[in-house]
Amino acid sequence: MLRVMSRRGDDRVTWDMQRVQASDPEAIAAVREAERIFAQERAKGATAFRIDPGKPPQRIDQFDETSEQIVMVPRVVGG
């Protein structure tokens, strides 16, 4: 799942890896859409974190469809 923080809460794109591996067109389209959003948000300065249960979050620069959950936070500045 890709979760992108915004003023609306977080926008989500989900996909099923088993269906992706089975070449399901809908699942593949969802992954491509998530990848596109990931690239778009990164270009705007967002930071992405891979979240795996029981592990500390990990910053990532490349989209990884095998991640259970990716959370993107907008660019931050000192206040």
Q: Which residues bind other proteins (CB under 8 A)?
A: 3, 5-10, 45, 47, 49, 51, 56-59, 69, 71, 73-79
Decide if 66 contacts 50 (C-beta within 8 A).
no
At its nearest, how many Å lie between other proteins and the CB of residue 56?
5
At its nearest, how many Å lie between other proteins and the CB of residue 6?
7
Q: Of 34, 39, 48, 46, give the one whose Cα is nearest residue 1.
A: 34
At its nearest, how many Å lie between other proteins and the CB of residue 1?
10
- Determine phi and psi for 6, rounding to 5 degrees: -155, 180
